[in-house]
Amino acid sequence: MNEVIVATKNAGKAKEFVQMFEPHGIVVKTLIDYPELPDVEETGETFAENALLKAESAARLTGRPAIADDSGLVIDALGGRPGVYSARYAGLDKDDKANNRKVLDEMTGLPDEKRSARFTCVLAVAFPDRQEPVIVEGSCEGRIAHEEQGTNGFGYDPLFIPDGFEVTMAQLNAGEKNAISHRAAALQKLRAVLPELAGEPK
């Protein structure tokens, strides 16, 4: 495997994958390099199903191994919501402010001990041949703040206080966030199987 497709148009995500794969001599391309590829409808009911849908589509259409992620916020008091609907929780448009407002409204009055939550990230690697896909999952445990705090990050970062911290993800710097994030945890697990993915012995 000397080239891999990362099924994203998000430059930030792509950069993380480049940093992981380049030391192994693997070239990373993204959907930005393949503008003709159609968007994949995320019809799965789990993060894993959606990640696999995107990875398998990219692998099939490009003839290259492909990696995709699906991630979101899981809140215990809301029965696991927003979950796979995290990006569009407040409506079809991806509106971070509206999503955060909806979460806060639904959790009004709940004490800290009932505000447990986690960010979850699932990475799926699919291959153009019949090789079995690889799926790994990472998470970051924490709780939901009572109001938005911080301007770093995006999405639900201003609401999420990671375990061991008294500030939100949006109040951490990039290095601090990347050290504990759900995507970092999933990438770490993927890194563990990289030799196998690259066709080298473990």
Binding residues: 8-13, 41, 70-71, 154-157, 177, 182-183
d(CA 43, CA 53): 8
Beta carbons of 103 and 117 less than 8 angstroms apart:
no
- The candidate with the shortest Cα–Cα distance to 71, out of 134, 4, 8, 151, is 8
SS3 state of residue 88: helix
Residue 89 CA to residue 5 CA, distance in Å, equals 28
Rounded-to-integer distance, Cα 93 and Cα 98, Å: 10
Annotated binding-site members for Mg(2+): 41, 70
Contact 172, 165 (CB under 8 A): yes
Give the type of residue at 61.
L
> Is 129 part of the annotated catalytic residue set?
no
| Helix H or strand E encompassing 62 | helix 47-62
Pick the catalytic residue from 39, 70, 76, 95: 70
**Partners of 124 in the β-ladder:** 68, 135
Annotated binding site for substrate: 8-13, 71, 154-157, 177, 182-183
* Active site positions, annotated: 70
